[in-house]
């Protein structure tokens, strides 16, 4: 797929799925970008000029079937570096209001799964 004209959510999804595949020995296919939100890291650290992206996407995770994922991606402008990418389970494993910056994005409740915006 060409990256030219790729949406923010699409680019985050592609990078995050690649990151997840490399770290979990499972190929994510049928990537379905759901939504993403960008905010400045400056809100968290005054000296940090990067942008932080929180993204949700769905993907076919082989034996796990189609699952919803959350990822945190940093970049100097466009999304570039995946910090965390986690598979979300049932509704008890995620929340849409435990992040200071996003509304409508499903964030994992487990600690250590994202660094920016955690309430
Ligand atoms: Zn968030």
Separation of CA 51 and ligand 1 centre (Å): 12
Say how far apart CA 43 and CA 100 lie, in whole Å.
10
Domains with residue ranges and CATH for the chain:
8-108 (3.10.450)
* Structure confidence by residue, pLDDT tens digits, 7-30: 999 999 999 999 999 999 999 999
Q: How confident is the model at residue 5 (pLDDT cuts 50, 70, 90)?
A: confident
Q: How far apart are the first and last CA of the chain?
A: 36
d(CA 53, CA 76): 11
**How do residues 69-95 score in pLDDT, each as one tens digit?**
999 999 999 999 999 999 999 999 999
Measured in angstroms, how far is the CA atom of residue 102 from the centroid of ligand 1?
4
Residue 92 is predicted with a pLDDT of: 95
Instruction: Specify whether the CB–CB gap between 30 and 66 falls below 8 A.
Output: yes
Q: How many whole angstroms from 103 Cα to the centroid of ligand 1?
A: 7
Q: Which residue has the tokens 């435990």?
A: 98
Q: Which tokens sit at 63?
A: 């034996």
Q: What are phi and psi of 43, to 5 degrees?
A: -65, -25
72 Cα to the center of ligand 1, angstroms: 8
**Cα(105) to centroid(ligand 1), Å:** 7
Q: Do residues 22 and 28 touch, judged by C-beta distance below 8 A?
A: no
φ/ψ of 82, rounded to 5, equals: -80, 120
Residue 38 Cα, ligand 1 centroid: separation in angstroms?
Answer: 8
pLDDT of 2: 45
Of 39, 35, 37, the C-alpha closest to 56 is: 35
Average per-residue pLDDT in the chain?
A: 94
Distance between Cα 100 and ligand 1 center (Å): 7
Count of other CB atoms within 10 angstroms of residue 26: 15
């Amino acid at each position: 797929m060409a990256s030219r004209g790729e949406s923010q959510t699409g680019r985050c999804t592609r990078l995050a799925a690649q990151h997840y595949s490399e770290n979990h020995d499972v190929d994510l296919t049928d990537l379905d970008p759901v939504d993403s939100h960008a905010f400045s890291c400056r809100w968290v650290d005054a000296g940090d000029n990067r942008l932080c992206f929180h993204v949700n996407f769905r993907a076919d995770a082989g034996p796990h079937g189609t699952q919803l994922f959350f990822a945190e991606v940093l970049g100097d402008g466009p999304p570039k570096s995946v910090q965390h990418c986690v598979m979300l389970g049932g509704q008890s494993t995620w929340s849409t209001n435990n992040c200071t910056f996003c509304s409508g994005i499903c964030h994992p409740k487990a600690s250590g799964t994202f660094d920016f915006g955690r309430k």
